[in-house]
């Protein structure tokens, strides 16, 4: 008796997921505009200056924050520095390969970094120690533990949650007492898959396999758009874009309140 190859099984599964969507159903029973369950666990890494784990359905991400003094950028001598890195290891998904960061990890780090930076989430001027000489450098390290879809939103949420419980280790380096990192804004990203005319919020890994067409929209605490990332070669009408923006801002509000409660 012949067994089906992995490719045939994958194609059958994709066809099943697609047919469900054409009938206005998602495989996991969610509505098209519904997120999976979200769990936020702050302070997951005791030795880090700040940290958080986010579980978005079965997708799990841990973010650690490290801070140390260093030189500012020449064009911003009175502001601290943010450096964001993402690590996608084979343990999290069989599609990830060992080695240096690939385009997926680079895109992930840039989207997370842009949301934090463009929202002004951190008051970087307060991280200046000596203008032009010494400032605090914030290292945001993203580690994917399990990828079941939508790593972008899970990583962005874990990053801002980690920053919100970060302590500046001033005493450790002889700059006075330790203090809480000045977080003044809470950016939240919402990623949607665009399949034909349907918009699927928080796509699962099975849904992501149907199409690379997705849009990530990040808004701040005042509902202002601070960044947008479009992936996939597809046309997006003005009407569909406005629909995506309104939906993303609305969903971000609820997630932001959850984050504040935590």
Q: Which sequence spans correspond to the domains of the chain?
A: 18-261
What was the pLDDT predicted at 219? 98
Bridge pairing between strands 134-146 and 81-87? parallel
Provide DSSP, 18-82.
HHHHHTT--TTS--TT----EEEEE---TTSSEEEEEEETTEEEEEEEEEEEEPPPTT-TTS-EE
Residues 6+ apart with CB under 8 A from 15: none
What was the pLDDT predicted at 1? 45
What was the pLDDT predicted at 148? 95
Handedness of CA 65, 141, 252, 149 (dihedral sign): negative
Bridge pairing between strands 188-195 and 214-219? antiparallel
What was the pLDDT predicted at 38? 97
pLDDT along the chain (262 residues), means of 10: 62 83 90 97 95 97 97 96 89 70 87 96 96 97 94 97 96 91 96 93 95 96 96 89 96 95 85
Q: Which CATH class is domain 18-261?
A: alpha beta
């Amino acid at each position: 008796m012949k067994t089906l190859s992995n490719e045939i099984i994958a194609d059958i599964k994709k066809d099943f997921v697609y047919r469900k969507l054409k009938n206005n159903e998602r495989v996991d029973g969610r509505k098209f505009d519904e997120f999976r369950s979200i769990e936020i666990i702050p302070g997951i890494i005791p030795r880090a200056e700040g940290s958080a784990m986010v579980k978005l359905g079965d997708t799990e991400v841990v973010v650690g924050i490290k801070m140390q003094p260093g030189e500012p950028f020449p064009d911003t001598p009175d502001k601290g520095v943010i450096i964001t890195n993402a690590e996608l290891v084979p343990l999290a998904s069989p599609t990830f390969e060992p080695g240096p960061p690939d385009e997926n990890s680079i895109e992930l780090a840039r989207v997370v970094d842009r949301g934090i930076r463009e929202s002004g989430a951190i008051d970087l001027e307060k991280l200046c120690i000596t203008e032009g000489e010494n400032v605090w450098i914030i290292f945001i390290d993203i580690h994917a533990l399990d990828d079941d879809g939508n790593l972008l939103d899970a990583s962005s949420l874990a990053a801002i949650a980690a920053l919100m419980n970060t302590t500046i280790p001033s005493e450790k380096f002889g700059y006075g007492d330790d203090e809480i990192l000045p977080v003044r804004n809470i950016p939240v990203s919402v990623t949607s898959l665009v399949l034909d005319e349907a918009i699927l919020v928080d796509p699962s890994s099975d849904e992501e396999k149907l199409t690379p067409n997705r849009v990530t929209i990040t808004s701040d605490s005042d509902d202002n758009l601070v960044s947008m990332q479009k992936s996939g070669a597809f046309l997006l009408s003005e009407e569909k874009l406005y629909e995506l923006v309104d939906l993303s801002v609305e969903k971000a509000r609820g997630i932001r309140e959850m984050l504040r409660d935590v």
